[in-house]
Structures are given as structure tokens and as C-alpha cells.
Structure 1
Amino acid sequence: MDRLSGLDASFLYLETPEQLLHVCGLIVLDPSTMPNGYSFIDVKSEIARRVRDVPEFTRKLRKVPLGLDHPIWVKDTHFDIDRHVHRLSLPAPGGYAELNELAGHLAGLQLDRSRPLWEMWIIEGYDDGKIVVFTKMHHATVDGVSGSNLISHLCSLEADAEPLSLGPKTRHGRSPHRAELLTRAVVSNATRPVLAAKLLSPSAQLITKTVGRAREGTAMAAPFSAPRTSFNGTITGHRAIAFADMDLEDIRAIKTATGTTVNDVVLAVAGGALRSYLLDRDELPENSLLATVPVSVREESKRSGGANKVSALFAKLGTDTEDPLERLEDMAENNRNAKDHHSAISAETLQDWAEFAAPRTFGLAVRAYAGLRLAEKHPVVHNLVISNVPGPPMPLYFMGAEILALYPLGPVFHGAGLNVTVMSNNGKVHVGLIACRESMPEVDDLVKRFPAELAALKEAVLAQETATPIRKRASTKPPAKKAAAKAAAKKAPAKKTPAKKTPAKA
């Protein structure tokens, strides 16, 4: 029997028609590399062949009677590829704007829970003959890493090769009788107080240690400390999407020259882009924006089951800092503290507490939260979610078509109507932005600033490439002087940075 973990099930309980908890992706393909040419019928048939033995593509939900426990996965004995793979064509002229509008519409459609929780839309007529595949999978089925791995079932290293192997094939969990489900649910509920008692002591110790770190100034940024922006409120079910590309070598060069990490650079660029975007709209808060950054604990977790093996840390994005190098310096220092703090937290903490998620309670709570618009009445938990997903370093082929770009798109939440996800792929870093359309209608204007901010950071690094690496400079700068300099910078009028108007293309 394949029972959903509490964390996986939470993504089902927290979903509403407005707060859609599926993850999406835009895969841009060059069909000229396909050995037999492009044909939708052939592509759909080959997808059906490749997914037929993969449980994540062919299983569906089965509820436990009376909602006494988390649902289980069972094989869909009536699996039909026609209900999952669809065909569309872009209206003329078939460019970036038309693709974004269509993708935003598809991202706003809820998945049918009576079937396996995924869909794939083959979109023809993009950018002079390219094909785009728009994918959707529910977060109850995948996280960032496992979702990337699942796509490998459909990809190969050569145009005419078999798909990549992911090791031994997994089997579908059996479908138990109703009486067995009820019995297991009763036992599970009876043992939960014991589990709760076991979690209380380490959780209390964690809180004590966090307070100590906060006093020492080495704790990660705290939730509920984010400033309010126009995209921090109650969301609707409408979605706006935008995407752009950055050069991975530029990011690596900055990382090497400054002694930081790729993730530090990505977050610093995101902070600069958001600062520029908000500044041009006279919406820039005095305090830095706060991002939730999902962290994979797949390597550290001892749990064998469950699709989602993630934790999260909070990171200030330096939107209150004008100088890009200083922003990166602060980002590197804060991220080191956040990582040290996060490493002290058990990899199973979030998964353990998620076991107490109750279907009806969570469902009623999130609907009441949205209906009363509470996200606009309490302090902002976080401004947005930013994910960094590692991708393939070499060219990949989807059904024989070379993958030119892969833009990941995560979910947005009440109170945080923007999600930024980046993925490396064959020397490029693909940036995917998705937002509540009413909260951020001009999301394309924001994504265009990512390449511009990377260029500004690279230029600043080149101008000081003979200087001491950032980590050493940070250790020699007196904290009092640094704080005073930042305070003075906040008082000074900030310069506006106009965004480039060049459309981003794959």
C-alpha cells in the first residue's frame, strides 16, 4: 500500500481554485533533430510507451473512508493517454507574447483528481517552427528534484536513443479493501499523540537554539518580518507567466571571482531585479524583501517514502542595497548563517509535523483564510518563493527533439503571489516567473531585468577583479562601520534603473 506522506498530502489539503498547487514547466524544442520528423500522433504514442510502467504517471488518488488518514496511491486501471496529452497551436504571429498568454491560461486550470495528477500540452507554431511542451504535475506527486528526474523518463542523450535510465523500476502499491484502510487509519490516529510527544522536545530545543542564534546575529532571517508589496495579498486563480535566459558561465565567473556560490549570485540578481522593478513603480520598501528558498533534504532524509523531501530557509534579498557587489557580499554572509542554522534542523522536521495535517481542517482553514482576506491583515510571512533547481550540463532530447530551454514554474500562495524558479541547462540558466495576474500583471517587465542585473553585477566584478575576494573583505570590514554605511545609503536617494525592452526568447 502506497500511502501519501503528510507533506505530500498537505499540498492536496491546501489547494483551492485560487491557490493551485501544481508545478509547471515550459520545454522549448527544436523538432528538426527528430529522426522521423515531428508528428503529434507519434509523439503522443511514444510518451504513452515511456510512461506506462512509471507509477508517478499512471497512479491516482484513493481517499480513506471518512477522511481519517492521508490518501493512498493506486494504479489507474483505466489510464488513457488521451486524457493527459493534448495538442494546441499558437495564434499568429506565434511569438513570446502569445506563448505567455496561453501558458498563463493553462497554469490557471486545476488538475482532475479522479485521474493521475499530470497533463502535457504540445504547443505548435512557436517562433518559426519550434515546438513547446507545457507540463503540469501536482506538488503531491513531485518536488523540484523528483520532478526534474521524472522528465528524464521522456528524455535521452541522443536524438535516436532510448530514454535515460533511472535505476530499478518501481511498482504500484496494492489497493487494499475498505476495512483495511479504516483499520490502518484508526491505528495511525491512535499513535499520533505518541509521535507528537516525541517531537515536542527536539522542537523546543530548536526554538531555544534559534533564539540564541538571533541574539548572536547568526540566525537566518525570520518569517513575518517581510515588508508589504503589491504582490503580497489574497490571490486569484489567474496566472501570468514570463521567462528569460542567463549565461551560466557569467554566474560561475562571478562566483569564482568573489568567493561566493551560484545560489548567492542567483539570489543577488533576483534582489537587484526586484529592487529595480519596485523602484520604477515607486513601491520599493525601506526594508529588504524576504524570500522562502526551498531546500532539498533528499540526501539527508532517512525516509524511503514520500515524493516531497524538502525543507526551507528564509533569505533577505538585499533590495534595500543599491550597489550590486555589496548586495552579493551581504547575501553570501547571510546565506552562510542561514545554511548553518538550517543544518541544525533535522531533515525530517517538516515531514514529521506534516503528518498531523488534517484534510477537513486544512481545507476549511485555507478557504476561511482566503475568504476573510487575512493575508492582507497580518504581518507578511514572506514576499515570494525562489527555487534553484540543478539541471543537465549536456544537451538533452525530448522524443528526439533537442531541448533548447526548460523554464520551471512553481506555485504561488495567498500572501506571496510571485514565484521565481531557475534551472541550469546545457550552459544556460533558464528563469521562470509565475504570478497571480491581478497582483503582478507586468511580470514580463520583471523577468527582463534578470539578465540586465547579471550584466551589472558582472561589470562591477570586472571593475574590481583585483580586489580581495568578498568573503575576506567581509571579515575585515568592522560591523559598526558597515551598519553605518548601510544606514547612510538608505537615506540617500536611490537611482532608477530602466529595464531593457528587448523581448526574452529561448
Structure 2
Amino acid sequence: MSQSKTTMSAVDKSWLRMDSPANPMMISTVLIFDQPISLKRLKRTLHERFLCFRRFRQRVVQEGERVYWQDDPLFDIDNHIHRIALPGDGSQGELQALTSDLASTAMDHRRPLWHIHYIDGYEGGCALVVRIHHCIADGISLVRVLLSLTDNTPEAKLSRIATTHPSTDNSVESSLRRFSQRVLDSGQTALEQGKLFLHSMRKEPGYPVKMATTAGNIAMDLVKLGFARFEPKTGLRPPLSGRKQVAWAEPLSLAEVKLCARALRGTANDVLLCAATGALQRHFREIGEHIPECGIRVAVPFNLRPLTQPIETLGNQFGLVLVCLPVEVNCPLMRFRQVQENMNRLKRSYQAQVTYSLLDLFGRGPDILERRALALLSNKASAVLTNVPGPKEAVYLAGAKLVQPMFWVPQSGNIGIGMSIFSYAGTVQFGITIDRAINADPNAVMGYFRESFAELRDVALQRNEHATAQTAS
């Protein structure tokens, strides 16, 4: 097998460097199915639809400050798939304990950075715990890759696996040819950008002024990010232990979430962020901790890759935005309006593009520069919160129906809480991972999330009924 090397992109290199004993940079996924899956068929599916991405056959190689992807000469899929059974009664608590343990365990960098644990007999079916390092791709891309393993019906057939090998042409002539092609591609890109600029000027005379205004707005967002206040000192930000606790809630009805959003003239995302805000407020109250008067912030990944674009190449294409959650606001309706206003303001900003550019810049510099910058930025958020749309209908993997999917992105620096929202087949899944040093029960927080949503839903429906009654009279 070829051991040719490919230079890792600066942004992916940034995520690789973020690995720490307190926060391994892994995206973790739990997939629960209604029936057992044949391991033979699962491996065939992975060969055909997962390993077609070369990254999953490659390991990370570091040479000084340079980092490469290199084909693993000893790659074997059996090194990455482990079949186990849960101890005790094999309940959800046991699966959460296993997932917590795996989420706390760093990966072996001598092999490709992904693993799948097949859980036998879980709730009469089975479960998969999937871990993939963040340097391979961002959460949205990896969720789409994992969903590409599935079918819309249980009867879908796999085609015969074609054994392919990457090119082994490492000659000087081949290297010069690849370099020349990159130069040609860059020149063509520059030419196309120049034509686009001239076309825009002819079509819109004020285009240069508009560009200058945009550049000024980007610079202003960079300044705002740099001078944003540090997070208040709360029990959510102690020194981390590196041991994770994972939990997930019973799914919400997506129809109910959308109904609530329509009644409040907002979005489903606004509703769910408001429910997360209420859950954190309830947590502060239950443990008797003072609620910060200026709210707390969460880092929210913002996708920069078009969702309609096929996932042909992996890598990270997203930025981060800092969203203020008004945990100090008691009224559910006022809390919702504040969340909505904060989100609308961020949608008009360039913060996601700024943070993506910063990651690209950090990845090109020395490791110590990135770690200092990361420490600075991670002091400006108390948690990471993701919201990813999934399939509208149920899907099947190797003939088994996917009943419940959950996933968690890693937290960086000294952030110890990750919350995830995932819509699937008419439901909304909510999960959380919390560092053990934080005084919080993850299952209790899951309950607070459902209670907070129910409180907002009831207020929204009562308000809607009152408005309807007034219109009728």
C-alpha cells in the first residue's frame, strides 16, 4: 500500500492541536437500532460507503511543525470495529456510562483516528458508539457521512465492493505535475475572481464601496470578538478533570417545537435555544448558585459549507459564533425574545467567517501561539452548543431501523460542557456531555430541558389562544 503523504490543511491542523488530556478532540455519536445488525453486512457497508473517503484509511504523521495525512500501511477495518456487550442489565444508564468512558479516552495516533463499538443486544436491538477525530472533518460533515451509510428502506442492496488502491506514483515528474496543476488551478481561480469583480462593478457601480463596507464590518467583528468580556465565574467553569459524563433526553416532538415557534413568530432554533437557556437557569437554582446577571455565552458552530453541496471531500468548513443565553431572565416569553434578538444580531454579523479565518491563521503558526489564543477565546464561553438538522424520515443501516441518534462535538480549552440538538424523523434529540469536575447531574439537566420547553410551549399556546379569542370577538 502507498505511504504517500498529503499536507494537512491549516484549519484541520488547528483542531488536531487542540487535543488535550482534559478535552480530547473527538466527535462522539450514539446510534440505537431496533434490531441486531449483521457485522458482516456492517463491514461491507463501511467498505463501500465509509472507506471511500481516503481519510479513514490514513493516519496522522507529524514532522516538526508540519503535519501530514499518510496511508496506513497496516490498515485493517477490524482494528477499528469492536463488538462488546453492556454489563449488568444493559440499560440506558450502562450505555451512557460506556459512552462517557469512551468520550474520555484519547485515540491512538498511530492508526486512523476513528473507532466504532458495536453494542450487542441493546434494548432488543443494538447500538453503535462511533468516535471520529475532529481534525478529519467538522460535525455536520461527519453526520452527513454517517447518514450516507443508511438507506431509506431496510431492503436496500449493497453493490459488490470494488477494491481500489491509491496512486503510488511518487516520482519527481509526478510531483512536478501535481505542483503545476495546483499553480494552474490557483491562476484559474484568480482569473474567475477578477472577472466576477469586473462584472459586479459593471452591474453595480457602488460595488467597491460595498466591499469596503463589508471589510470594515468584518474588522469590527474581529475587534468585538477580541475585546468581548470573559465569562463570569460560575460552577460551570472549574478546572477540568478530563472525565466526561454523557446523557440524553427522551426526544421531543418536532411538530410541537414548530407549533411553539409559529405561535411566537420565531424559529424552531430560537425555541430550542430558549429551552437550553431555561435548563441552565434551573440548574443554577437547584444547586443554589447565584445566576449571572449578564447571562452566559455558548459557542455555536456555524456551517460554512452549503448543505446542498455533496460531501466529496472532508475537512472542517465552519466558524464559531458566541451566543448569549439570558439565564437571568425569569419570564419564558421574555427569555425567548432575548434569545431571538441575540440570534438575529449574530446572523447579520461575520463572526463565523472571522473565527474560521483565525483557525486557519493559528494552524499556520507555532503551536504555542494557537494554545494561547485558544485559552483566550475559550474564556469567553461556558459551553459548546450544536444544532444539526437530520433526515425527515427514518433511515436504515444494514437492514436495521435507526431509532434514536445522538452526537456530541468536543469542547476546547477549558470549556467543560457540550450540548447537542439533532432533529430526526419528526423528533428532536437533546444530549449533553459534562466534565465530571462540574457540579451538575447530566440526566437532571436533560429533565430541566424538557421542563423548560414545556413551560415555553404552554405560554406560547395560551398567548396564541388569547390572541385568537380577541380576534374572534
TM-score normalised by L of structure 1: 0.75
Distance 1:256 1:457 in 2: 12
* Residue correspondence of structure 1 range 105-124 to structure 2 within 5 A: 105-124=101-120
Amino acid across the alignment from 1:134: V
Aligned residue pairs, count: 425
In the TM superposition, residue 397 of structure 1 has moved relative to its aligned partner by: 0.6
Partner of residue 446, structure 2: 447
* Equivalent position amino acid for 1:312 in 2: L
Shift in Å, 1:66: 3.1
Partner of 1:355: 360
- 2:32 corresponds in structure 1 to 28
Please state if 1:323 is matched with 2:327. Answer: no
Where does 1:43-62 land on structure 2 (aligned, <5 Å)?
A: 43-62=42-61
- Write the deviation string for residues 75-103 of structure 1: whole angstroms up to 9, x where unpaired: 33432011101011111211121111111
Q: Give a deviation string over 1:169-224, Cα, whole Å, max 9, x none.
A: x996878589979xx9xxx9xxxxxxxxxxxx999834664499x8xxxxx99743
**How much is the aligned-residue C-alpha RMSD, in angstroms?**
3.7
Matched, 1:312 2:317: no
2:241 to 236, 239, 246: 236
* 2:318–2:352 contact (8 Å) kept in structure 1: no
For 1:260-409, list aligned pairs within 5 A. Answer: 260-283=266-289, 284-299=291-306, 307-342=315-350, 347=353, 349-357=354-362, 361-362=366-367, 366=371, 380-409=379-408
CA contact under 8 A between 2:244 and 2:433: conserved in structure 1? yes
- Would the aligned equivalents of 1:252 and 1:262 in 2 still touch at CA under 8 Å? yes
Q: In the alignment, what sits opposite 1:456?
A: 455
Alpha-carbon distance in 2 for matches of 1:113, 1:211: 34
Counterpart of 2:11 (choices 7, 25, 33) is 7
Distance 1:331 1:339 in 2: 12
Change beyond 3 A, Cα 1:400–1:72: same
- How far, CA to CA, are the matches of 2:219 and 2:149 in structure 1? 47
Match for 1:436: what amino acid? Answer: D
For residues 33-44 of structure 1, what are the structure 2 equivalents within 5 Å? Answer: 38-44=37-43
> What is the rounded CA distance, in whole Å, between the counterparts of 2:73 and 2:222 in structure 1?
52
Structure 1, residues 441-496: CA drift from partner, whole Å, max 9, x if none? Answer: 51111112111111111111111104679xxxxxxxxxxxxxxxxxxxxxxxxxxx
Which stretch of the first structure deviates more once superposed, 9-18 or 267-276?
Answer: 9-18
Secondary structure at the aligned position of 1:464 is classed as: helix
Answer yes or no: is the 8 Å Cα contact 1:103–1:241 preserved in 2. yes
Separation (CA, whole Å) in 2 of partners of 1:431 and 1:124: 24
State whether residues 23 and 136 of structure 1, in contact with CA within 8 Å, keep that contact through their aligned partners in structure 2: yes
The normalised TM-score by structure 2 is 0.79
Cα distance 1:172–1:296, how it changes in 2: closer, same or farther (>3 A)? farther
Letter of the structure 2 residue corresponding to residue 412 of structure 1: Q
Tell me if the contact between 1:226 and 1:379 (Cα under 8 Å) persists in the aligned partners.
Answer: no
Supply the distance in 2 between the matched residues of 1:276 and 1:205 (Cα, whole angstroms).
Answer: 40
Give the Å deviation of 1:312.
1.8
Q: Which runs of 5+ in 2 are unaligned?
A: 184-211, 469-473
Per-residue CA distance 1:375-416 (angstroms, 9 max, x = gap)? 8xx994111111100100011011211000100111123332
**Amino acid in the other structure paired with 1:420:** M
1:101 pairs with one of 87, 93, 97: 97
Q: CA deviation at 1:237?
A: 2.1
Query: Which residue of the partner structure matches residue 410 of structure 2?
Result: 411
CA distance in 2, matches of 1:258, 1:430: 21
Whether the aligned pair in 2 keeps the contact of 1:91 and 1:98 (CA below 8 Å) is yes
Task: Look up the equivalent residue of 2:136 and give its one-letter code.
Answer: T
For residue 121 of structure 2, give the secondary structure of its aligned residue in structure 1. strand
Distance 2:167 2:21 in 1: 29
User: C-alpha distance in 2, partners of 1:360/1:14?
Assistant: 14
1:337 and 1:365, CA in 2 relative to 1: closer, same or farther beyond 3 A? closer
Match of 1:87 in 2: 83
Give me the whole-angstrom Cα distance separating, in 1, the residues matched to 2:352 and 2:233: 31
- SS of aligned partner of 2:330: coil
Residue from 251, 258, 268 that aligns with 2:264 = 258
Against the structure 1 CA distance between its residues 353 and 359, is the aligned structure 2 distance closer, same or farther, given a 3 Å change threshold? closer
Q: Secondary structure at the match of 2:329?
A: coil
Aligned residue number for residue 34 of structure 1 = none
SS class of match (1:272):
helix
Paired residue for 1:158? 153
Question: Given that residues 378 and 415 in structure 2 are in contact (C-alpha distance below 8 angstroms), is that contact kept between their aligned partners in structure 1?
Answer: no
Q: Is the 8 A contact 2:37 2:399 kept in 1?
A: no
Q: Is the 8 A contact 1:234 1:414 kept in 2?
A: no
Taking a change above 3 Å as real, the CA distance of residues 449 and 176 of structure 1, as seen in their structure-2 partners, is: farther
Mapped contact 1:123–1:131 kept (Cα < 8 A): yes
In structure 2, how many angstroms separate the alpha carbons of the residues matched to 1:234 and 1:413?
A: 13
Secondary structure of 1:311's partner?
A: strand
> In the alignment, what sits opposite 1:66?
64
Out of 205, 223, 231, the residue aligned to residue 216 of structure 2 is 205
* Distance in 2 between residues matched to 1:382 and 1:410, nearest whole Å: 15
1:60 alignment partner AA: R
Partners of 1:421 and 1:268 lie apart in 2 by 14
Residue 90 and residue 175 in structure 1: after superposition, are their counterparts in 2 closer, same or farther (change >3 A)?
farther
Aligned-partner Cα distance in 1 for 2:143–2:423: 11
AA aligned opposite 1:24: S
Say yes or no: does 1:139 pair with 2:134: yes
Cα drift, residue 362 of structure 1: 2.3
- Aligned residues of 2:239 and 2:437 also touching (Cα < 8 A): no
Secondary structure of the residue that 2:305 maps to in structure 1? Answer: coil
Q: Displacement, 1:6?
A: 1.2
Identity across matched positions, percent: 23
1:134 CA drift (Å): 0.3
Which runs of 5 or more residues in structure 1 are unaligned?
32-36, 165-169, 189-200, 215-219, 470-506
Cα distance change on mapping 1:279 and 1:441 into 2, 3 Å: closer
Residue by residue over 1:416-463, the C-alpha shift from the partner in whole angstroms, topping out at 9 and shown as x without a partner, is 210001110001111121121122451111112111111111111111
For the 8 Å contact 1:88–1:124, the answer to whether it is kept is yes
Contact 1:14 1:362 in 2 (8 A): no
State the partner residue of 1:502: none
Aligned equivalents of 1:11 and 1:278: distance in 2?
31
Report deviation, 1:360.
8.7
2:205 alignment counterpart:
none
Query: For 1:23 and 1:130, how far apart are their aligned partners in 2?
Result: 24
1:436 equivalenced with 2:440 (yes/no):
no
